[in-house]
């Protein structure tokens, strides 16, 4: 099976178009379809002196073809306003969201086997008067997914989160039995189905320093986390913990687990990004589709300069292709 992958270049004034063009210049065992304004890519390619031929298509359909280096198929979505690299324009906020909705629709309809997203600028979308908290929440709504899980991964480390973009003071109240059970079940299932791990081993971090120190540094471990893990172990899940977060990221633990489950954003992600920044991938678990993304922002200061590093997008695409093969996603619906 040759999968078809939808790519959304994200914020047009950022480096998304640049890195999309960069990866289009190399061979891929998949068909790549960028969902964006084709003239944006042509203008950015000329600015960067990149020889990439942009081929407009009616829609992603038919039998996928292996990507031809230096040529990129584009499902056209027109910008609302002209775009200058590095200069945000709220007028293009709805354009950015439309490209995401179109990619989700293509995946749900079976015309694409995965979507890979370049970074968006949340602030400019909100400045346009459109409530937007991130890709993850939009994808959950578009696919009617009750709960999703954010996981970042390098080639050697995976870190999933119980809570995501939540103020630190609100995290303890959010760590409930229901949250832990549902997110760990999603993580366990998707490690099986999308990563091909028959019996995933998950290391679970505690919420408090020293994992609560037997209740002396907080009771969340005793009252919520430990009882939940015991119930899930009884269902056959392989779970370590709760482990103190300051000592969990060491070879003794990591060599014996397939993923680390952190309680909040800045508990797990600083370690992962230190270990593999620029080559990490953001994966949304719990969706009926495959979605991977870069681990960085729009880098407005680098847009149009030729200095943007496409490594994370390259890794995200590579992982999406691998996941498409693992899940055995059905061939696209013929035209």
Q: Tell me the three state secondary structure of residue 283.
A: strand
189 is in an annotated binding site: no
Q: How far is CA 142 from CA 26, 58, 97, 326, in A?
A: 31, 22, 11, 24
314 is in an annotated binding site: no
135 is in an annotated binding site: yes
* Closest C-alpha among 268, 175, 259 to residue 225: 175
Q: Tell me the three state secondary structure of residue 151.
A: strand
Q: Which helix (H) or strand (E) holds 161?
A: strand 158-161
**Do 152 and 267 contact (CB within 8 A), yes or no?**
no
282 is in an annotated binding site: yes
Instruction: Give the Cα separation of 121 and 48 in Å (integer).
Output: 22
* DSSP for residue 87: B
80 is in an annotated binding site: no
∠ CA 105-111-117, nearest 5°, is: 60
136 is in an annotated binding site: yes
The CA radius of gyration of the chain, in Å to the nearest whole number, is 20
**Do 313 and 294 contact (CB within 8 A), yes or no?**
yes
Question: Which residues are part of a known binding site for substrate?
Answer: 135-136, 273, 282, 291
Instruction: List binding-site positions for a divalent metal cation.
Output: 165, 210, 265
**Known binding site: residues?**
135-136, 165, 210, 265, 273, 282, 291
């Amino acid at each position: 099976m040759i999968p078809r992958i939808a790519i959304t270049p994200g914020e047009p004034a950022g480096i998304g178009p640049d890195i999309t063009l960069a990866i289009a210049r190399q061979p891929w065992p998949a068909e790549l379809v960028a969902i964006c304004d084709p003239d944006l890519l042509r203008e950015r390619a000329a600015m960067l002196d990149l020889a990439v031929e942009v081929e407009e298509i009616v829609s992603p359909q038919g039998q996928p073809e292996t990507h031809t280096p230096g040529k990129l198929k584009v499902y056209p979505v027109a910008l609302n306003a002209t775009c200058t690299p590095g200069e945000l324009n709220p007028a293009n906020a709805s354009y950015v969201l439309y490209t995401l909705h179109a990619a989700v629709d293509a995946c749900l309809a079976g015309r694409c086997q995965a979507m890979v997203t370049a970074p968006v600028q949340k602030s400019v979308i909100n400045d346009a008067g459109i409530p937007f908290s991130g890709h993850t929440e939009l994808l959950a709504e578009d696919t009617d997914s009750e709960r999703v899980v954010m996981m970042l991964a390098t080639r050697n480390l995976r870190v999933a989160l119980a809570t995501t973009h939540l103020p630190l003071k609100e995290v303890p109240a959010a760590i409930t039995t229901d949250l832990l059970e549902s997110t760990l079940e999603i993580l366990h299932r998707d490690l099986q189905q999308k990563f091909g791990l028959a019996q995933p081993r998950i290391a679970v971090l505690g919420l408090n320093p020293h994992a609560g120190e037997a209740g002396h540094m907080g009771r969340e471990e005793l009252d919520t986390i430990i009882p939940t893990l015991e119930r899930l172990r009884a269902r056959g899940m392989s779970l370590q913990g709760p482990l103190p977060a300051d000592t969990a990221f060491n070879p003794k633990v990591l060599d014996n687990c397939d993923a680390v489950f952190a309680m909040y954003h800045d508990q797990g992600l600083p370690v992962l990004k230190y270990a593999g920044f620029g080559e990490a991938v953001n994966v949304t678990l719990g969706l009926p589709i495959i979605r991977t993304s870069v681990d960085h922002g729009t880098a407005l200061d680098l847009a149009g300069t030729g200095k943007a590093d496409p490594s994370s997008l390259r890794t995200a695409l590579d992982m999406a292709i691998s996941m498409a093969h693992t899940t055995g996603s059905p061939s696209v619906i013929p035209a």
